[in-house]
Each structure stands twice: as structure tokens, then as C-alpha cells.
A = this chain, B = another copy of it.
Amino acid sequence: MVDRTSGVPAYRQVADQLAAQISTGELAPGAPLPSERELVDLFGISRPMVREAVKLLRMRGLVDVEHGRGAFVRTPGQVVRLSRNRLTRAARSLNKGAFLGDADAAGFTPSVSVRVRVETADERVARLLEIEPGNEVLVRDRVMSANGLVVQLAVSRLPRDVTLGTALEEIETGPGGAYARLEQAGHVLVHFDETVSARMPSVEEQAQLQLPEAIPVIAVTRVAYTADRPVEMNDMVLAANRYELHYRLPAE
């Protein structure tokens, strides 16, 4: 029953009580919440207010609702740690690209679908690749899956003059991946810049990554540099409930 004198909205009281039961384990992961009609009777409030309470729990990521079945305490998924320092040449030469390498390490069956196209650089792309807006860039649009589940989206862009006449314009870049082809073409990589941010997914990303509610995405933009200039940028989008990023920094 809710306390009508406290000034706290009834639906918040219900949400808080259920949240407390979840955090104590009284409602364990996977366990069903009482049905909405049951909560109506239990707390003596109307169904719209019960639904408001459940919606709060959904937004906090505590509960998943299945139409026709019920509401269930969310079970935390397993997090994969991505070591970003794996981009180094030694590690690269061993495998066919960063993602397939991670697959070996984490023990899942990877698959990648690639689309290749040519675009003209917009303001942001031009700035990151240090070229003129409107210049041609090769775009490699990739959807990475693990065990059939989409887990990562990546779009990489390269100045067209770097890719012309190389396997980088093909679907299959060959052994060692895109970076190997770049170095083969004389573009020796010196360092990478990675910019990491987080945000809520767009509706398209949420659908593609099959994200539960209240799960943000990690957006990583990586730029690969030779001694002279940037030769590739890569926009990655990862489900934050499945990934964490790991960096090792020297104290120098």
C-alpha cells in the first residue's frame, strides 16, 4: 500500500519498493514481477499509475517487459573487454583484423557483412582526414556479428587517392585486414587516435544492435596516421552492455 500523505507520487513509491526488492535479491534476476492487475490490488492504485511505476523501472534498466508474458527482472549480460592496444603491428600481423582477433580471444563465432561505396567528404570527415570537403572518400560499412547476433557497427572512410587500385576497394581486403593493405601500399602507420564517447542509441541502432531499453552505446572514432597524414577514420558503435574498452598507457 502507498502512503498518501508523504507527498511522494504513488507510482514512484511503487517503483522504489519494487527496485528495493530487486536490489536485495528478493526479486532475483529473471523473476517475474507481479502482474499489473496484481499490483493494482497490492498497492491500491489505478492501472495507469502501476504502468507508470513499471515504466520507471524499465527506464532504469531494472526490468524487461514482454507483451503477453509479464515483466521480469533483467539478468545482467556478459561484458567483453576490448584491448585497444591490440592495434599494434605485431598483434595485427597475427590475425585478419581487430574484430576477428577479438573473436578468437573471446571464443565466439564471428561474421562480418561489408558494403563498399564512394562518398564525398562532409565537413567532419574532411576535418578528421585533413582533406577538402567534397573530396572523394572510400567508405567501408561493416556490420559485425557474433554467433549470429549483431554486436558492432563500423564505418571506415579513407581518402580515395589512398585506396585507388588496391584491395581496399574490394569487399575482401585479404590477410591482415585493411591496415595490412595500407602499409603494403606504402602508408606506414605511426599512431592511432581514438575518441570515445557515449550516448543513447538512435532508433535504428537500437533495432540493429537489438539493444534492451536503457542501454547506451559507446561510440569510438579512430583515426590512423602515417608520419605525414591521416589515412583512415573508423566510426564504431558498440552496445554498452556487452563491451568495455581497455587502454594501456605508459607513464613515460
Report the Cα distance A59→B217, complex, angstroms: 15
A151 at the interface (CB under 8 A from B): no
Q: Within 8 Å CB of A2, what residues of B?
A: none
| Cβ 8 A contact of A198, one of B60, B189, B216 | B216
> Closest CB-CB distance, A81 to chain B, in whole Å?
7
Any chain B CB within 8 A of the CB of A171? no
A59 to B247, CA, bound (A): 31
| Binding-face segment, A85-93, A122-130, A162-170 | A85-93
**Across-interface contacts of A59 in B (CB, < 8 A):** 59, 200
User: Per a CB cutoff under 8 Å, which of B85, B90, B203, B217 touches A249?
Assistant: B85
A residues with CB within 8 A of B: 48, 59-61, 79, 81, 84-85, 87-90, 188-200, 203, 214-218, 224, 240-241, 243-252
8 new A-B contacts, CB < 8 A, other than A60-B203, A199-B240, A247-B249, are: A60-B200, A87-B251, A88-B251, A191-B250, A196-B247, A197-B240, A198-B217, A199-B216
